[in-house]
Amino acid sequence: MKDRVQKFLTAAERLAIERKVKEAESSTSGEIVVLAVGASSHYPAAALVGSGTIALAFGVVGMLLLRSENLWLFLLLFAMLFMVSHELLKRIPTLKRLFVNRREMVEEVEEAAIRSFYRHKVHETSQRTGILIYISLFEHSVRVLADSGIDAKVGRTGWTDIVSMITKGILDGRQGEAICQAIDRCGSMLQSHFPRRSDDRNELADVMIIGSPDN
């Protein structure tokens, strides 16, 4: 999963993102966290359904080619094909994606983003000004979650615009640049409503987080 994120963003792009977070936070008391995951869930049901479907289809074809009606031979062929298919689904996300419905992906991303928001303590800033930019590659999804302090000032439209900015950048193949632009936008929003205080301290680390469905 982490390899997928590392291919999605080069080391230089991840470093640029971390620098951009530090720069954006230099003029505000708010906090910005960027987190990217290869997938928001392992989707075990999709792996089973997909493996079974592929094994059944190719098993039937195999029996037709062999011109056999032997049930034990079919079961043996099915079992072998199931194991091979299961491995393929684990290694080829695009193939596995065919067996996950869109509604399930939306729900898994939403739940994973919320878990990450609390796990990484984005909700624990002194003025409730934490913002999480959550990117899930398998589902082709981006979420922006904001704590109550800044969310009350910005509203849903502001976060939707940031999601669109990142999504378009990914589609154009300039994901690193788009994420940096989104961080700039978040920084401007935070600065407008929560300018940096004289006693301000960095409450959350500026490092970009590479996550997984398990953490």
* pLDDT tens-digit map of 15-67: 999 999 999 999 999 999 999 999 999 999 999 999 999 999 999 999 999 99
- The answer to whether the CB of 211 falls within 8 A of the CB of 7 is no
For domain 2-41+101-211, give the CATH number. Answer: 3.10.310.50
User: What pLDDT score was predicted for residue 18?
Assistant: 96
Q: Which amino acid is at 56?
A: L
> Using CB atoms within 10 A of its CB, is residue 208 exposed (0-12), middle (13-18) or buried (19+)?
buried
Q: Is the pLDDT of residue 1 over 60?
A: no
Query: Which residue is it, tokens 């089973």?
Result: 48
- The answer to whether the CB of 138 falls within 8 A of the CB of 39 is yes
Spatial distance between the Cα atoms of 100 and 111, rounded to a whole number of angstroms: 16
Rounded alpha-carbon distances, angstroms, from residue 127 to 28, 29, 36, 75, 195: 11, 8, 25, 62, 11
* pLDDT tens-digit map of 107-156: 999 999 999 999 999 999 999 999 999 999 999 999 999 999 999 999 88
Spatial distance between the Cα atoms of 214 and 211, rounded to a whole number of angstroms: 8
pTM of the full structure: 0.91
* pLDDT tens-digit map of 61-114: 999 999 999 999 999 999 999 999 999 998 888 899 999 999 999 999 999 999
User: What pLDDT score was predicted for residue 215?
Assistant: 63
